[in-house]
Amino acid sequence: MAAQAGFFAGGLIIGAGGAWLAAKRESKPQLVQGGAPAGASAAVGAAPAVAGPTVVTPAATLSAAAPVPASASASAPAPAPGAVPAAPSAGAPATHAVAGPAQVTVAAVHDALAHSGTPSPTTDILAHEAYVSAYDRRLRHPVWTAEHLTAESLQRRDGANRANSIFTEDLRIPDAFRSTNAAYFRSGYDRGHMVPAADAKATQNAMNETFLLTNIAPQVGEGMNRDYWAHTEDFCRRLTRTFSDVYIFTVPLYLPRQGADGKWRVSYEVIGTPPSVSVPTHFAKVILGVNNAVGLGRAKSFSMGAFVIPNSMIPNSAPLRSFEMDVGAVERAAGVDAQAVRLGHV
């Protein structure tokens, strides 16, 4: 049996830099801002209800073209919309409706998409020496990054040097959806690493890959990227002194704020000319530390925790535990399932 523990003890956590509440265990927490209760009508991750497109099924298409009974009287009431007409009597002449533009079968749509591909936003899964990432073509930054750290993997081997790395556009992404250095120019934001260069010191190429813009998101510089975020990254590396394996998911987030009218809205900046790269409101790190069993009678143990840090200036005196959140709350807010990590490595 695996033994599980948190990185920090605690129940109700109040995040410094913003009134963030995450009630754990008993109350199935959700990330909330502004001190609103977790039961508020607009929970984090909930999208406003919008009317969806009408789904035209093969059955509905066929029924629209079904024959009209010859015995039907002119005074008979019209059938309700979508109702299936009665079958015609034997020998009655068949009258067929002509299919209009709106009568598109699902099979025809599937056939068209098989040739052209889906038009919806595409996520690019990108593999690198030191990490794997998913890139969002709409937001033009990672959806998530995943890395595996050990004490050995953090050793510098072939003289890898950050000074030899430069921020580079990722040519694997189509030009129309690519993040560019020009978008960051004079934007007021740093090019923030999701997987830090210091986590990829095994080779120069591994370090260079962390400077691809598919691993970068806009971050506040002073007090965040150059300070508190860097300290958080160092905390993750130091966990390799305690755990034999450390798995890290880094996730940009867009979390809502409650306005004076009581409604929740997500507001964020978009940089570039024309505007193209979105600026996350927060960043999360979901961390799994594993100690492999050594010797007879010893059980594998693990600890799992998550931290949500606002994309703003944060005093270095703020304790990291003040940003600790329930893993499930982060999963719901990000749309990322960490269950695969728990099952795959523990």
**Count of CB atoms situated within 10 Å of the CB of 264:** 20
Question: 275-334, pLDDT tens digit by residue?
Answer: 999 999 999 999 999 988 665 555 678 899 999 999 999 999 999 999 999 999 999 999
The CA angle 11-16-20, to the nearest 5 degrees, is 55
What's the pLDDT score for residue 281? Answer: 98
The CA angle 15-17-22, to the nearest 5 degrees, is 20
Question: 88-137, pLDDT tens digit by residue?
Answer: 555 555 555 555 555 668 888 778 777 777 776 678 999 999 999 999 99
Whether the CB-CB separation of 215 and 194 falls below 8 Å is answered with yes
Model confidence pTM above 0.85:
no
CATH number, span 3-37+129-345: 3.40.570.10
At a CB cut-off of 8 Å and minimum separation 6, what does 147 contact? 130, 131, 132, 195, 199, 247, 248
**Count of CB atoms situated within 10 Å of the CB of 326:** 22
Catalytic entry in 110, 193, 282, 345:
193
Active-site residue, 193 included:
yes
Domain boundaries in the chain?
Answer: 3-37+129-345
b/e sequence 228-250, b meaning 16+ C-beta within 10 Å: bbeebbeebbebbeebebbbbbb
Q: Which of 214, 191, 81, 202 is nearest to 145 (CA)?
A: 214
At a CB cut-off of 8 Å and minimum separation 6, what does 76 contact? none
Annotated binding residue at 161?
no
Q: Supply φ then ψ for residue 299, to 5 degrees.
A: -95, 145
